[in-house]
Homo-oligomer: A and B are copies of this chain.
């Protein structure tokens, strides 16, 4: 029995080993401040929980259509109208098993073997593995602080080769928290369209922006695939629910793939998510957004005072991507030292690509401010 070749190129999350180590330390009675986890500490918002409980009382947890509950697709469409002022018909909206499911469906209908896809580096590691799973070739597009860690029109034009078929970007981005400016976004869409390529935009951190708003690529017209999630702004991580917006003419193909790969997304998660757009829920989520902003405003200067360099201020998501080279030559070694000696867990750059990963770390502000302050204090003592 031999394994598929792709598995040699699909990497584990390196942070998992660190997390296992942290868990072992905690089991042995040591305290660990968790700044490595890309999952907020909040419980699911009450109105969403109540909707889930209400639905469970009936007990009829049967399959929904593969594209999702019609009323949820309507609700998402309404959210685009209300929040963005854009018209996204429900027929273009596909409810999915997390943003992961949305990514699989978009790339499943787009990526042919040997196709090259441009992916900003640093970036979310799963993206390149989805491309690889489908026998495409992920191509790293290095991005730096001078362009706010977002691809430029020039870089995409220059990197677009004979076999390039697509560009996958994220805004706000993981691990950098940066937001692409609307002009650049429009330029990128134009470049991709001119080359008959496909543009996939990961908007899963939309809603979590601080002092700015993120433009949806859906405002640029129909020829774009947009991925979104109920996990981040809506705080529904463990429910595993997201959505994909696709060009209308490709929805039938996406439906075929969704039927075959998933049957349908979780019924219970969909029923609960119907409450995600109510004014009551949005009020809770907006309060949490302000809390995230306060956390960022505590963590970012604190890290800078320790000697980390944050070259582009994060405007969204819940991450700070910091240059750690003043504090250690290798961020992997530094991360281990921070954990072992200070009881602070953070993610080394290795998980985010090949672009100077040994010089960077990602800190997540997914824990309350008291814990952030305690983590900063522990590091201060270590570096003193």
- Say yes or no: A60-B39 contact (C-beta < 8 A), given A1-B196, A238-B267: no
The verdict on A257 contacting chain B, using a C-beta distance below 8 Å, is yes
CB <8 Å contact, A126 and B56: no
Q: Within 8 Å CB of A46, what residues of B?
A: 59
CB <8 Å contact, A238 and B3: no
Give the distance in Å from the alpha carbon of A39 to the alpha carbon of B267 in the complex: 14
Give the distance in Å from the alpha carbon of A134 to the alpha carbon of B63 in the complex: 26
The verdict on A81 contacting chain B, using a C-beta distance below 8 Å, is no
Q: Within 8 Å CB of A135, what residues of B?
A: 113, 134-135
The verdict on A83 contacting chain B, using a C-beta distance below 8 Å, is no
The verdict on A142 contacting chain B, using a C-beta distance below 8 Å, is no
Which of A102-110, A144-152, A177-185, A325-333 touches B?
A102-110
Give the distance in Å from the alpha carbon of A284 to the alpha carbon of B268 in the complex: 22
Looking at the complex, which one of B10, B43, B196, B263 makes contact with A257 (CB distance below 8 Å)?
Answer: B10
Q: Top 6 A-B pairs ranked by shortest CB distance?
A: A238-B267, A43-B59, A61-B238, A129-B260, A12-B256, A126-B260
Give the distance in Å from the alpha carbon of A129 to the alpha carbon of B260 in the complex: 7
- Encode contact with B along A1-22: 1 for CB under 8 Å, 0 otherwise: 1111111001111001000000
- Say yes or no: A113-B113 contact (C-beta < 8 A), given A240-B266, A260-B126, A266-B238: yes
Looking at the complex, which one of B44, B100, B261 makes contact with A59 (CB distance below 8 Å)?
Answer: B44
Interface residues of A in 241-258 (CB under 8 A from B): 247, 250, 252-253, 255-257
Q: Within 8 Å CB of A238, what residues of B?
A: 61-64, 264, 266-268
CB <8 Å contact, A4 and B260: no
Interface residues of A in 121-153 (CB under 8 A from B): 125-126, 129-130, 133-135
Interface residues of A in 261-275 (CB under 8 A from B): 261-269
CB <8 Å contact, B266 and A266: yes
The verdict on A95 contacting chain B, using a C-beta distance below 8 Å, is no
CB <8 Å contact, A266 and B239: yes
Interface size on A, residues (CB 8 A): 74
The verdict on A58 contacting chain B, using a C-beta distance below 8 Å, is yes
Looking at the complex, which one of B223, B236, B263 makes contact with A98 (CB distance below 8 Å)?
Answer: B263
The verdict on A302 contacting chain B, using a C-beta distance below 8 Å, is no
- Encode contact with B along A294-311: 1 for CB under 8 Å, 0 otherwise: 000000000000000000
CB <8 Å contact, B268 and A7: no
Closest CB in chain B relative to A205 CB, distance in Å: 15
Looking at the complex, which one of B4, B16, B58 makes contact with A259 (CB distance below 8 Å)?
Answer: B16
Give the distance in Å from the alpha carbon of A49 to the alpha carbon of B115 in the complex: 46
The verdict on A53 contacting chain B, using a C-beta distance below 8 Å, is yes
- Say yes or no: A108-B269 contact (C-beta < 8 A), given A10-B260, A238-B63, A238-B64: no
Looking at the complex, which one of B2, B7, B236, B263 makes contact with A100 (CB distance below 8 Å)?
Answer: B263
Name the residue on B nearest A107 (C-beta). B4
Q: Within 8 Å CB of A247, what residues of B?
A: 1
Give the distance in Å from the alpha carbon of A119 to the alpha carbon of B63 in the complex: 26
CB <8 Å contact, A236 and B61: yes
CB <8 Å contact, B39 and A4: no
Interface residues of A in 188-242 (CB under 8 A from B): 196-198, 223, 236-240
Closest CB in chain B relative to A351 CB, distance in Å: 11
CB <8 Å contact, A4 and B133: no
The verdict on A112 contacting chain B, using a C-beta distance below 8 Å, is yes
**Which interface residue of A5, A263, A267 has the most chain B CB atoms within 10 A?**
A263
CB <8 Å contact, B63 and A97: no
CB <8 Å contact, A130 and B260: yes
Q: Within 8 Å CB of A16, what residues of B?
A: 259
The verdict on A348 contacting chain B, using a C-beta distance below 8 Å, is no
